[in-house]
Amino acid sequence: MSTTTAASALTVHDVAAQLGVSEKTVRQMTRRGELVGFKAGRGGKTSPYRYRQTQIDAHIATREAATRAGRTA
């Protein structure tokens, strides 16, 4: 099983650029459970979120499939 380190993970900024949304939207999507992120650093409320590329790719694929099916995800 491979692990993703904070150094190889995507930042909020990276994810926002890939999705074409603001960093604030990425944080809101994370709070709502639409994106799965993990806290980097020592923990706590101020630790930045990081994201795995595979999870972002899956989110994009789900949105594209929903769009093709005529609904929004």
For domain 9-68, the CATH class is: mainly alpha
pLDDT along the chain (73 residues), means of 10: 62 96 95 92 79 95 88 60
Q: Which of 55, 54, 56, 58 is nearest to 15 (CA)?
A: 56
pLDDT for the residue 67? 87
| DSSP state, residue 16 | H
Contacts 24+ apart (CB under 8 A), 64-68: none
> Residues 18, 62: contact at Cβ < 8 Å?
no
